[in-house]
Copies of this chain bind each other. A is one copy, B any other.
Amino acid sequence: MTTGRDEAGHDQPRDEDAYALDPKAVAAILYAVDIDDRDKLVELMEPLHSADIADLLEQINPFDRARLIRLYDKEFDGDILSELDESVREEVISVLNPDVLAEAVREMESDDVVDLLEDLEEPQQETILDALEDSERIAAEQALSYPENSAGRLMQREVVMAPEHWSVGQAIDFMRANDDLPEQFYHVVLVDPRVKPVAQVTLGKLMAARREVPLIDLAEEEFHIIPVDQDEEDVAYAFNQYHLISAPVVDADGRLVGVITIDDAMVVLDEEHEEDILRLAGVGDESSLSDSVAATSRRRLPWLAVNLCTAICASLVISQFEAAIDQLVALAILMPIVASMGGNAGTQSLTVAVRALATRDLTNANVMRVIRRELLVGMLNGLCFAIVLGTVGMLWFDSPLLGVVIGVALVVNMIIAGFAGTVVPVLLDRLGIDPALASGTFVTTTTDVMGFFIFLGLASVVLL
């Protein structure tokens, strides 16, 4: 494997395709489906990781998807199902042979089953719950009783725990005797007699210690307990901030009910980022490439509708200066520049603020300093571009005064942009509204309206 990135920096062409699906392999698979050759299909799919199979299923069209799944039949397993994007899961489940589905679901870990169940409609949920064994079904139903997006939904219930007074030898003997250990675990959680977690020991430490050493002597310095109703976003933040690998989850009485591992936190972190980036662009936050035209169109309508209203507001502002434009068409030609520069500067400020709020770097301790900085940056960049744009305006329309007017309007609008770009997300955040969702509209409306108003207003007073 080679990488195109060099010593000098970030922007060299890179080998983006390091882990992309091989187009030839995809073509061969689709051909096997076309000619209905099950043996060939199974052979071709064999080297693929279940995550890659899920990606493949997402990328092909619904017709091929259904044919592939039917032909693949009983090779389809629980891992593929858990890797699939929500947007195609329902479709895949409805296509799957019910016996294959039941088998696949029984193989899954408890947290994956919950993750699958929570996005399904009632009848499909029932089908899957019915496929589970009794104990599993009760566990899944209990997990679903926790609030959506909470630690309770994210955790796995299989925990390796030991009484706090045990020695290393006792813990190792217990684990050797236990056939039902989780697939992956990284800590032994030490609990008191009421099953409250008191410490945890990494397997590495356990492994390196002599048998008679008390477990409690090996306890990790950092120990983070997560309440079962904590929001998954906070859980992901804690994992990222404190470099946790796994953390015990407790109920309202402080009793150990499960464990969350870093790979689950990583998935949440990824989803939160996706949500932020899509919300900032005014795209529904669960958009996916596999959505239909109708679904995509419906998801994007609301933000476009809001934008239409604000654009009409801006036009109403312009219409107040109809007479001025009638007298001097140059105003109509130049006015979009003032609005556009303000909009861009505002978007810069608000993106920085939204991101800093998400990472909790923007707090009471520094909010005034950040606002001051944004005002100064707006002024400084405004002045730079005012000189350029003023000169352009002056030469283009042969009017020094027009140059001054557009320059002043630009500086003022860019200061407003810096201010609105920071204050709007901070206020929304304080009001409990996700700043990524709504800031953009407020900020660009402000810079559009103010941009047109200041430029046209100033021009009316000074030039006409």
A351 and chain B: residue at smallest CB distance: B281
Could you say how many copies of this chain the assembly holds?
Answer: 2
For the complex, would chain A's binding face be called helix, strand, loop or mixed by DSSP majority? helix
Q: A433 touching B19 by the CB < 8 A rule? A: no
A160 and chain B: residue at smallest CB distance: B204
Q: B147 touching A5 by the CB < 8 A rule? A: yes
Can you give 18 contacting A-B residue pairs, CB < 8 Å?
A: A4-B432, A5-B231, A14-B432, A19-B237, A19-B360, A23-B363, A55-B360, A55-B361, A59-B366, A186-B204, A243-B263, A282-B347, A283-B352, A296-B377, A297-B380, A304-B385, A308-B389, A336-B336
- CB-CB contacts below 8 Å: A1-25 with B: 1-7, 9-16, 18-21, 23
A356: which B residues are within 8 A, CB to CB?
289
In angstroms, how far is the closest chain B Cβ from the Cβ of A78? Answer: 14
Q: Is A139 an interface residue (CB 8 A)?
A: no
- CB-CB contacts below 8 Å: A194-247 with B: 202-204, 206-210, 222, 227, 229-231, 233-234, 237-243, 245
Q: Is A164 an interface residue (CB 8 A)?
A: no
A208: which B residues are within 8 A, CB to CB?
175-176, 178, 181
A345: which B residues are within 8 A, CB to CB?
300, 304
Partner of A270, one of B222, B269, B296: B269
Q: Is A73 an interface residue (CB 8 A)?
A: no
Q: A5 touching B150 by the CB < 8 A rule? A: yes
- A293 to B349 Cα, complex, angstroms: 12
Having A61-B369, A186-B204, A277-B355, one finds 19 other A-B pairs with CB under 8 Å, namely: A6-B147, A10-B285, A13-B433, A15-B234, A18-B234, A23-B364, A52-B241, A184-B204, A186-B186, A203-B204, A269-B270, A270-B273, A283-B348, A289-B361, A304-B345, A308-B385, A312-B392, A315-B337, A332-B332
